Amino acid sequence: MSAAKIVEFKLGKGRTSRPTENEEWTKKSIDRSIEKYLELTVRMPEQFTEKDLTEAMLRSEYIIDNWLGAPEASLPSGPPQIPNFNPEDLMKHEGWKAKKTGEGEYAKGSLAWGWDFQDKFPAEIIKVLDKGPLEIDKYEFSLVGTIVQSKEKKEAKKRRA
């Protein structure tokens, strides 16, 4: 199956335990009553690579493993809060800056190379970038201190030249 045809996927995992020899095996319940495992549904953006799909699956599995591996006392009462991240918020950001001009202002930047202060972005974007650089289309976005940077990936520059 081609990765380009996938619109969304579901990933679910559960955990079983047997407190003592005399007790039955039971799955760890997310809400302690009905749900027997954690399942995430991930919707892919319109354009994505096989690497993006693999990364999305790995991140989903990481979230589930952390949730299921957490001690009972530390789990919140409801399902985990996953940031509502929209990659278009990065792609359409208008405030990308470049170098300072003679007047002390910043020249207009671009997606090919630009930056802006992290407080100019929604908190969901900063939470995602805090985990590491993010590749969308032919660009890489990263959080460096209090700055969000954008730059065109080297492969994309070579193809343009």
HEC secondary structure over the chain: CCHHHCCEEEEEECCEECCCCCCCCEECCCCCCCCCCEEEEEECCCCCCHHHHHHHHHHHHHHHHHHHHCCHHHCCCCCCCCCCCCCHHHHCCCCCEEEECCCCCEEECCCCEEEEEHHHCCHHHHHHHCCCCEEECCEEEEEECCEEEEEECHHHHHHHC
Of the candidates 21, 22, 40, the residue with the CA atom closest to the CA atom of residue 30: 40
Under 8 Å CB-to-CB from 112, ≥6 apart: which residues? 139, 150, 151, 152
Domain spans in the chain, listed from the N-terminal domain onward: 3-74, 88-160
Does residue 149 have a pLDDT over 90? yes
Q: What per-residue confidence (pLDDT) applies to 33?
A: 39
Q: What is the pLDDT of residues 11-52, one digit of tens each?
A: 888 776 666 677 666 655 444 433 456 788 888 888 888 888
**pLDDT given at position 12:** 82
Kindly report, residue by residue over 49-96, the tens digit of the pLDDT: 888 888 888 888 888 777 777 655 555 555 555 557 788 888 889 899
Q: Of residues 19 and 133, which shows the higher confidence score? A: 133
The predicted structure's pLDDT at residue 116: 92
Asked whether residue 108 carries a pLDDT value surpassing 50, the answer given is yes
The pLDDT of residue 29:
46
Task: Give 122's contacts (C-beta < 8 A, 6+ positions apart).
Answer: 89
Instruction: Write the burial class of residue 59 (CB in 10 Å: 0-12 exposed, 13-18 middle, 19+ buried).
Output: middle
Measured distance CA(44)–CA(34) in Å, rounded? 28
- pLDDT score for 1: 45
